[in-house]
Structure 1
Amino acid sequence: MTNRGHASAADVVALARTVRDGVRDVFGITLTPEPVLVGCVL
């Protein structure tokens, strides 16, 4: 998921939760997030 507009972090997280919950409800599979850090180094 990439924010290419003016969405807030909360908007992106809410969308990710909606997608995750929808996949779980329809397919019985719980997706695991794999965050990618952009613009920073660990």
Structure 2
Amino acid sequence: MDPSPDYDMSDEIEFFFKYVPWGLRGVVDGNGYPPPAYPPV
């Protein structure tokens, strides 16, 4: 099972740092952007 040629560790790292901080907060908007400064209502 070979990895796709356009995939490398930088993609893994980019995904990790985009998702993890907001995923831990329970805020996942699918775009990798930080949530607002106030909690969603």
Query: TM-score normalised to the size of structure 2?
Result: 0.36
Identify which of structures 1 and 2 has the higher relative contact order when contacts are C-alpha pairs closer than 8 Å and 6+ apart.
2
Query: TM-score normalised to the size of structure 1?
Result: 0.36
